[in-house]
Amino acid sequence: MAFSSGGSRTDVGLLVIRLAIGASMAAFHGYDKLAGGPERWARVGANMKNLGLGFMPEAWGLAAASTEFFGSILLMTGLLFRPAAGLLAFTMVVAATRHLTLPPGSENAGWSGASHAIELLAVYIGLLLSGPGKYKLGR
């Protein structure tokens, strides 16, 4: 039976989390940024200046969009799982920092604006530490 041992329940739970979080991030965040083109990439990448990296905003934005889309697909499949989870976690650090550095009173400013990115950061760190479980493509 699939749910007879603790290990199997854990593996099924990890699969559910990977599929749900991965599909949501790819569909609602990554795809839109990736399809937005260079102007959108530059806007997204400009957030790296909050970390002291104000150069090449288009490249940073494309990297973020690619991570959110392709990294999420890797997360769902279990392929290159830990690198994908690490990159997604870093992307959430940048997103949270953006919200925390917005002027007070701005839309999505402060801790409530950053909460979604912080929650996803926790999920990605948890997945990075746990691994994909046994249900994945490849070895």
Distance CA 41, CA 35 (A): 9
Confidence band (pLDDT; 50, 70, 90) for 138?
confident
Say what the pLDDT of residue 137 is. 92
The 10 Å Cβ neighbour count of residue 55 is: 9
Confidence band (pLDDT; 50, 70, 90) for 1?
very low
Say what the pLDDT of residue 4 is. 54
Ordered by start, the domain boundaries in the chain are: 9-130
Dump pLDDT digits (tens) for 55-105. 999 999 999 999 999 999 999 999 999 999 999 999 999 999 999 999 999
Dump pLDDT digits (tens) for 20-63. 999 999 999 999 999 999 999 999 999 999 999 999 999 999 99
What letter does residue 103 receive in the DSSP assignment? Answer: P
Torsion, CA 105, CA 106, CA 110, CA 112, rounded to 10: 100
* Verdict on whether the full-model pTM lies above 0.85: yes
